[in-house]
Structure 1
Amino acid sequence: MFILVLLIFLVTGCGRLQFFSSGESALQEAKDQKSVVIGFANEKPYAYQEDGKVTGEAVEIAKKIFKNQGITNIKPVLTDFGSLIPGLKAGRFDVITAGMYITPERCKQVAFANPEYNIGEGLAVQKGNPKDIHSYKDVANQPDTTIAVMKGAIEESYMKDSGVKENQIKFVADQPTAVALLNSGRVDGVTMTGPSLLAILQSAKAKNVSVVEDFKQPIIDGKEIKGIGAAAFRPEDKDFVKIYNDGLAQMKESGELYDTIHPFGFTKKDLPGDETAEEICKQ
């Protein structure tokens, strides 16, 4: 018995202690301990560290929803964006609060809560836009053009679906690295969500970088792409998803959702529609 308990402790020690033999769900354990472990990737404006604290659109929504459930202690775990889903599945954290897009491929691995926002993509280039880039198609048409993107981010698939080759994509661990590469001229552009791009450029003070104001949103399978972001849980944690969705619906109805995300650069047009995560995953 001692060996079994020790093994359980070692396996789960890097995240939440989960003694599955008790039959207690992750939600009930979080309520009992009044704490929840969140995974984030230091990406403005969704979830990032500032002055030693973790904040951002996704984090602040989560804090309010969990607080209403009596879960007041938020324990953040910083990781690369590409490691978020593996970390969730491995039990390093209870929920991903990183503004992650809902996609069919990710829906096979995690259980998304309902949408928190609905936004478009953004592109920044060297000042003056010397390569005249206004879309991912423009990148594809110039084989010597290189764009930096966070590893695991949805923009990789958007670019590839638009004809951009693998060797035109420079993968980076985080946004500041991407902007630093562009500012020094080692890549021709960086792409990420619109709010994220504006937020990182405001803080980066990159003098040689400018936003492509007339960037054309990617069109995949005949449809203009809009990013729909949400929190993500393990598929077995259905009760966690339910209380999160209930709390999110209350925030949306009362106007608190807009009040929470607006300070991070989101506008009313970025608010989610009535489509659920389940409906989006079936598309």
Structure 2
Amino acid sequence: MPTKTRILNSLCAALGLVASAGFQARAAEPYYELPADYAACSDDSYQRAVEHGVKLGVAPAMPWTGVDPTSGKAIGIDVELNAEVLKRMGITKLTYEAGAFNSLIPSLLSKRIDMVVTDVHVTPDRAKTIAFSGPVWWYGPALVVQQGNPKGVKTFEDLSKVRVGVLLGTGPDEYLKKVGVSATRFQNYAEEFAAIQQDKVDAVVEYDLLAADFKKANPDAKVESIASFKMPEDLLKNGYGYARFGLRKDDCSFRTAYNQALAEVRASGAMSDLLKANGLSDRNLFVFPLELK
């Protein structure tokens, strides 16, 4: 396995992105992202993977996945979590192919790669073409504001009163469209975070991990994240569900074995250990916060 990525250790305090803080994400009724899958498998995709190994698709999207420029090895949280599951399956020969995120699903369908390891979220369009692993882990939303929060943004409802920025085509973008919040849309993260520092927008809606990674790389940037807010229940259905990996629908036996191994890795505590090694916590195992009584 690649060296553990360390992404949030010194950062959480500065940003207020402690994984357990603020997110009240459990819906009033259970929400299932995918229907139950009870396929009877007759293919040999799992056996082939054990014998010949698998090629895994990753995008340059740290802290999720990337390629170490010195060693050339794949790195990132998703790389580590996936490798642990494959080890449980008895699959030890792993190769990686890097490409733009929007190229990974086409590569999967053309059998250029065997899995999409840069995590993907369930969307209706994706569900038409690929299969998904079971829930791997979860990361939530961040409301990034100018230092000192001069506009007093405290909730998602406040976004309708301020100038909002978002990355085009992302889950946050889809959510803002759904709820009718006007936003300036950016082509890349650099433009997005530059805009809030240049007072072109008052708030940016992002993933907490990405906001944290930006602040880590730019400690003097005059931005901060709202540490505690109530997450709208319908946000789970619009880009903030579980992080999963992408699989081919035809690879029935491989998918079945993978999901069994994934469940065991989560239950064993190994998943928890890997998350904590990356500065996260058990909060990132579930969409909803656990209540221990």
TM-score of the aligned structures, taking structure 2 as reference length: 0.70
> Residue 150 of structure 2: SS of its match in structure 1?
coil
Q: Distance in 1 between matches of 2:235 and 2:264?
A: 34
Matched residue of 2:271: which SS? helix
1:272 to 283, 286, 290: 286
| Alpha-carbon distance in structure 2 between the residues aligned to 1:32 and 1:103 | 33
Structure 1 residue 115, shift from structure 2 partner:
0.5
Question: What's the counterpart of residue 265 of structure 2?
Answer: 251
Structure 1 counterpart of 2:59: 40
1:190 and 2:204 matched: yes
SS at structure 1 position matched to 2:151: coil
Cα gap change, 1:176/1:251 in structure 2, threshold over 3 Å: closer, same or farther? farther
Aligned match for 1:74, one of 85, 95, 112: 95
Pick aligned residue for 2:185 from 150, 157, 170:
170
Cα–Cα, structure 1 residues 182 and 221, in superposed 2: closer, same or farther, change >3 Å?
closer
Higher helix share: 1
* Cα separation, 1, equivalents of 2:123 and 2:261: 22
Q: Give 1:50 deviation, angstroms.
A: 4.3
Give the 3-state SS of the residue equivalent to 1:131 in structure 2. coil
State the match for 1:208 in structure 2.
222
User: 1:75: Cα distance to partner?
Assistant: 0.8
- Report the equivalent of 1:10: none
* Secondary structure of the corresponding residue to residue 242 of structure 2: strand
Q: Secondary structure at the match of 1:228?
A: coil
In the alignment, the residues of structure 2 paired with residue 223 and residue 37 of structure 1 have an alpha-carbon distance, to the nearest angstrom, of 27
Contact 1:123 1:192 in 2 (8 A): yes
SS at match of 2:149: coil
Query: Given the alignment, which residue of 76, 96, 105 partners 1:85?
Result: 105
Which sections of structure 2, spanning at least 5 residues, go unmatched? 1-41, 289-293
CA distance in 1, matches of 2:220, 2:191: 12
In the TM superposition, residue 242 of structure 1 has moved relative to its aligned partner by 1.6
Q: What is the distance in 2 between the residues matched to 1:169 and 1:27?
A: 45
How far apart, in 2, do the equivalents of 1:221 and 1:251 lie?
A: 27
Change (3 A) 1:26 1:113: same
Structure 1: distance between partners of 2:145 and 2:138: 24
Which structure 2 residues correspond to residues 82-231 of structure 1 after superposition, within 5 A? 82-142=102-162, 145-149=163-167, 151-165=168-182, 168-173=183-188, 175-220=189-234, 227-231=241-245
2-structure distance, mates of 1:49, 1:180: 25
Displacement of 1:79: 0.9
- SS of equivalent to 1:106: helix
Give 1:76's aligned amino acid.
Answer: E
Structure-1 residue corresponding to 2:13:
none
Listed one character per residue, the Cα deviations across residues 146-192 of structure 1 (whole Å, up to 9, x for unaligned) are 3132x432111222222223xx131334x455334433444433322
Number of residue pairs matched by the alignment: 244
Shift of 1:247: 1.7
Give the SS at the match of 1:117: coil
> How many angstroms apart in 2 are the aligned matches of 1:222 and 1:250?
25
Post-superposition shift, 1:63?
A: 1.3
Work out whether 1:241 is the aligned partner of 2:261: no
| Identity score, percent | 24
Q: CA deviation at 1:255?
A: 0.5
Alignment correspondent of 1:11: none
Distance 2:220 2:106 in 1: 33
Say if 1:27 and 1:239, in contact at 8 Å, map to a contact too: yes
Structure number with the higher strand fraction is: 1
- Tell me how far apart the structure 2 counterparts of residues 179 and 192 of structure 1 sit (CA, whole Å): 10
- SS of residue in 1 equivalent to 2:138: strand
Q: How much is the aligned-residue C-alpha RMSD, in angstroms?
A: 3.2
Q: TM-score, normalised by structure 1?
A: 0.72
Q: Distance in 1 between matches of 2:179 and 2:278?
A: 29
Q: CA offset at residue 125 of structure 1? A: 1.7
